[in-house]
Each structure stands twice: as structure tokens, then as C-alpha cells.
Amino acid sequence: MMIVTTGDSPAEAELNRARKIAEQSGIRLVPRSRTSIPNLFPKYGASAVLIVTQGKVRLFRADQPVLEYHPSMGYVRAKRLLKGEPDPMIDAARAVEGDSVLDCTAGLGTDSLVFAVRVGPKGRVCALEASPELSVLLQEGLASYEVEKPSVTAAMRRVEVIHADHLSYLRSLPDDSFDIVYFDPMFRKPVYDLSAISPLRAFADARPLSEDAIREAVRVARKTVVLKEKKGSGEMERLGFSSDGRNHAKITYGVIPID
């Protein structure tokens, strides 16, 4: 069970935000009452604690590194895109202004943010996350985090986060309802130098992608279905993607072209 609380002596704005999260996500709001973070777990029988403080949302789990929303490489990639530089994910997806994107594995929303910058206000990015804890963290982070470039902050606000398992969600969609359907599952074996991902592992859904999900994605997509994977994982072949052939890269983007 997850609970949400604030810092000690919260300002009214912090308390309102925590209340709103509790209402929207159906999570229990508890008073902080100067309780230390480790003591919040036994006191409320919680397995995860979301702490809202000014401008920050942090997710705690006993004995795990804290997870905080941060756009990380998403901001760097967004700025490069805005300068007209290429991004291999965007190129593989053939994403252009006005496209609609269904990100089936939202995580911390780095890729969703890059898509949101590319497709702009006329486009749409919907990000699905199976973990209830991660989906709340991401929703709050994208709604409140500010970066220097206003157009990137605006792109964060446009990403729609949905707590859902992608297979069920895809099944509920009509044919041809998104231009691009994107997958970035947890790697079967972690790539240790991708450290941005490691605190996420404690919360993430680590199931392998199913052939059913890809079949549904092909039905739902109008332009491309894209898979990010570790090179040599065998997943591209197993799931019917052709790789982008970047020979030097550890990460590859596989594509199933639809149009």
C-alpha cells in the first residue's frame, strides 16, 4: 500500500498538492506529524511513501534508493532536438509535428518528453505505466517540474500519464488510433551504465514484452511501432522488429513500419 504525505510543517500549497494527489489517485493521505521517513512505513503499514515538498515529489520504499522525478537525459535530448539535431528514437519512429504517440512503457517519462517536444502542441503523447507508484510520481513530476526552456516545461505538461497495463489498454483502443506506438521495456539484463534507470527497478514492471502486445500495437498504430532494446538481446527477432542498424550503439531501436 502506498501513502502520500508532506514535509514537516508543510505550506498550504504543499498540503493542497498532497490532497489532490490523494483524491486523484485514491492513495491515503497521512499527516506527517514530524514522523521520520523510516517510521512512516510501520506506522501506516505502507510499502511505499510519496513525499510532496515544495517543487519536489519523492518516492520512498524501505531499503531502496529514493526515486525523484527528474527529466534527466530527456532535457538534454529535447534541447538538441530544438536545435535541429537528430535523435535516433525520433528518427526510428519518423515522428513529426502533430503526430499522436502512445508510449506503452512510461517509466520516468524521458522518452515521452522527447516525443512531446517533437510532436508539439498540435500532437499528443499518452504515456502508460503499469506501476501505480511510478505513474503517480511521473504524473506529479511532469505537472510540477520546471526547466529553463519554457517550451520544454510546456511539453512536460502536455504528456498524459495513464496508470494502465499496456496490453489491456491497447486492446481497448480502436484500429489506427495513434500514429506511433512505442515500447521501452525493462531490459532482460540491466545495462549498468544506464544509471538513471536503476532506482526505477524497485518499482518497475519487469515482465518481458508479449507477442500479443505487439500484435495489438500493429493494429493500433498508423505509422510505426518502435521498440528500444539492448543490442544483441534477441528481442527484436523474437518480436518481429527490424533494427536501426546503429553498429556502435549499445541501444538499438527496432521498427515495424505500418504505412
Q: Report the interface residues with ligand SAM, using CB under 6 A.
A: 104-105, 107-111, 128-131, 134, 165-167, 184-186, 197, 200, 204-205, 207
For residue 1, the SS3 value is coil
CB 84 within 8 A of CB 172: no
* The three grid cell numbers given for residue 249, joined into one nine-digit string: 550503439
C-alpha to C-alpha distance for 119 and 96, rounded to whole angstroms: 6
* The three grid cell numbers given for residue 28, joined into one nine-digit string: 491515503
- What is the pairing mode between strands 48-53 and 100-103? unpaired
- Nearest Cα neighbor of 123 from 137, 102, 109, 138 is 102
Residue type at 170 in one-letter notation = L
Smallest distance from ligand SAM to CB 34, Å: 32
C-alpha to C-alpha distance for 201 and 197, rounded to whole angstroms: 7
Which is closer to ligand SAM, CB of 136 or CB of 197? Answer: 197
Smallest distance from ligand SAM to CB 116, Å: 12
Which is closer to ligand SAM, CB of 18 or CB of 226? Answer: 226
For residue 46, the SS3 value is coil
Which is closer to ligand SAM, CB of 7 or CB of 190? Answer: 190
Smallest distance from ligand SAM to CB 259, Å: 24
Which is closer to ligand SAM, CB of 30 or CB of 89? Answer: 89
Smallest distance from ligand SAM to CB 177, Å: 17
Smallest distance from ligand SAM to CB 198, Å: 11
Which is closer to ligand SAM, CB of 111 or CB of 235? Answer: 111
Residue nearest to ligand SAM (CB): 107
C-alpha to C-alpha distance for 17 and 8, rounded to whole angstroms: 15
For residue 213, the SS3 value is helix
Which is closer to ligand SAM, CB of 52 or CB of 125? Answer: 125
C-alpha to C-alpha distance for 50 and 3, rounded to whole angstroms: 6
Smallest distance from ligand SAM to CB 228, Å: 7
Smallest distance from ligand SAM to CB 131, Å: 4
Which is closer to ligand SAM, CB of 18 or CB of 106? Answer: 106
CB 128 within 8 A of CB 104: yes
C-alpha to C-alpha distance for 108 and 129, rounded to whole angstroms: 9
